[in-house]
A and B are shown apart, each in its own frame.
Chain A
Amino acid sequence: MASASLPDNPLLTSAKIVIAGGFGVGKTTCVQSISEIPPINTEAWMTAASETVDRLDPGIDKTTTTVAMDFGRRTIGTDLVLYLFGTPGQPRFWPMWDDLCRGAVGALVLADTRQLAASFPAVNYFEQDSDVPFVVCVNLFDGVLHHPLEEVREALALAAGVPLIACDARDPQSVARALLAVVEHAMARNPRPTAGALAAH
């Protein structure tokens, strides 16, 4: 079983998958299911010190913005740790989304078929404002898929290349399969460099 502290290994590396979606679609549950530590819900205070790229309107004297951010972690073997970061609020308002997504392997955008519109902004963000590969995932709140995935795809106007899956955010194995889909999608987007391409470097 995973422990509370990380392996004592100077070569330990980390990877990150972002869990996005609207309010109440199950982001925290999803992180909680697979995290080896209780999800850390922290108010990451954004101050002027963290706004290196997207500054607030200089006319507004607003030096701090409180953003609730939660994240969890899962150790994979002795040399790799996977961090899961739930996105706070709506993407348009938070430079923090760019910060969270920087260097991410991929993103899992959760959707609730009872309130699909809640996940539109997250889908838009990953389609238009980010290069991070993403997979859309319908959260099965009561273990039942109420709408065929094709209908969901249509309702979200998802591009053909974006994988659409379903998972139960309460079930660790189901969440692991959803994260696996994200990693496999990222691998498909970044195929193994061929011998020729390596030689060219």
Chain B
Amino acid sequence: MPMTYWKVRPYVLTAGRTRTRQPLLVHTLVSVPYYDAVFASGLLPEARSLYEHARRARSVAELSAVCGMTLGVTRVVVDDLAATDRLQIHDDAHSLDFRLLERLRDGLRQLA
């Protein structure tokens, strides 16, 4: 996997921000609801790379890996794009949600 090397310190890209408006877990799924090439061309390279890679749904951790960005920076960039509805953050089924556990159990039974 090609590594992206930082040309700027990470906090320049995030403008020093370390927190996001919503909790973004490592497995939270993100996708681009409607792709806009003009919008993409106006983004900073890091944000653009993330936007392009999220055209298919991916988790925050996958985006971090594929874009060569730290998890912290990835979260802030995702959060920024989601604030203007450029990215959709898929609902995290709550880990204690019984229906989720049932679906997971049934799916794993088929693999076992």
Contacts and interface: CB of A to CB of B under 8 A. Distances in A.
A107 to B, nearest CB: 11
B18 A46 contact: no
Given A12-B29, A16-B25, A51-B18, A76 B103 contact: yes
Given A44-B64, A183-B105, A192-B98, A13 B112 contact: no
Given A40-B62, A50-B71, A176 B111 contact: yes
Contact of B64 (A34, A42, A193): A42
Contacts of A8: 56-57
A71 interface: yes
24 contacts: A6-B29, A10-B88, A12-B29, A13-B90, A13-B91, A14-B90, A15-B104, A16-B27, A40-B62, A40-B65, A42-B1, A48-B72, A49-B17, A50-B70, A52-B18, A79-B103, A80-B107, A83-B27, A83-B61, A104-B95, A105-B100, A179-B108, A180-B112, A187-B102
Interface stretch (A95-103, A121-129, A135-143): A95-103
Contact of A16 (B23, B26, B56): B26
B108 A42 contact: no
A47 B90 CA distance: 26
B96 A50 contact: no
B28 interface: yes
Interface residues of B, number: 49
Q: Determine which residue in B88, B107, B109 has the highest number of CB atoms from chain A within 10 A of its CB, and name it.
A: B107
B111 A172 contact: yes
B108 A183 contact: yes
B26 A100 contact: yes
A48 B59 contact: no
Nearest to A16: B27
B29 A14 contact: yes
Given A13-B100, A83-B27, A105-B101, A77 B107 contact: yes
Interface SS of chain A:
mixed
Contacts of A77: 103, 107
Contacts of B93: 13-15, 80
A77 B106 CA distance: 10
Given A12-B90, A76-B107, A50 B65 contact: no
A149 interface: no
Contacts of B11: 47-49
Given A15-B27, A81-B29, A187 B100 contact: no
A6 B18 contact: no
